Amino acid sequence: GNRRAGEQGLTNCRFQEGDASNLEQLQDHAFDVVISIFGAMFAPKPFEVAKEMVRVTRRGGRIVMGNWIPNDPTLVAQILKISSDYTPPPPEGFVSPMTWGIESNVIERFAGAGVPAEKISFARDTFTFNFAGPPSAYVDEFRKYYGPTMNAFDAAEKNGRAADLQKELEELFNRQNKSKDATSIPATFLRVTVAV
């Protein structure tokens, strides 16, 4: 992130790696806006994540999250559904990241951080996955770089089912693709805005 920001001449942008459920390296009320697009939702301990996001946001500031929606018919929820058929069950106590896409869960988590429900708003939005190549090549990118599909392929290879997983994902990507000569797949997400 920092390298890319430098290449683009963005002098007011700095990326810092950390644990969303324990932002100890950041001061209280340090930011006017805290943004997590498909990131913090994947951290364990969702109540701690909400508390930390509120803690580092200045009073009068905002938290904006983009979270995938469980059981949604669009791409990401379907990738996760397919991938789960190839992976072992999660450990006991595991909280699915997809629960961040349920409004009542988001309200409960931020309430635990002291934010009343009326300061939280929701909207359905669309992120479009664009790729210059065909859907089958885009599946290969997900196989290499997207955690849930990486894990699914890892498990599927051990069980001799990697070709089945590849086929299912290619069918999904082809079915949802809106482009004739490349890959363009819209996916619905829940946009969350929290007034702190």
**Do residues 30 and 56 lie in contact, with contact meaning Cβ atoms separated by under 8 Å?**
yes
CB-based burial label for 25 (10 Å; 0-12, 13-18, 19+): exposed
List of domains in the chain: 2-195 (3.40.50.150)
Question: Closest Cα to residue 101, out of 137, 82, 136, 127?
Answer: 127
User: Given this model, what pLDDT does residue 13 score?
Assistant: 82
Residue 167 is predicted with a pLDDT of 98
Q: What is the pLDDT of residue 96?
A: 94
| pTM given for the model | 0.90
Q: Are 156 and 162 in contact (CB under 8 A)?
A: yes
Please, what are the averages of pLDDT over each run of 10 residues along the chain (196 residues)? 90 86 96 95 96 98 98 97 95 94 99 99 98 98 96 97 98 98 98 99
How high is the pLDDT of residue 16? Answer: 82
Distance between CA 34 and CA 62 in Å, rounded?
6
SS3 187: strand
Burial class (CB within 10 angstroms; exposed 0-12, middle 13-18, buried 19+) of 47: middle
**β 31-37/57-68 pair status:** parallel
Q: Is residue 17 a contact partner of residue 43, using CB atoms and an 8 Å limit?
A: no
Residue 153 has a pLDDT of 98
Two structure tokens written together for 37: 């697009």
**pLDDT on residue 17:** 84
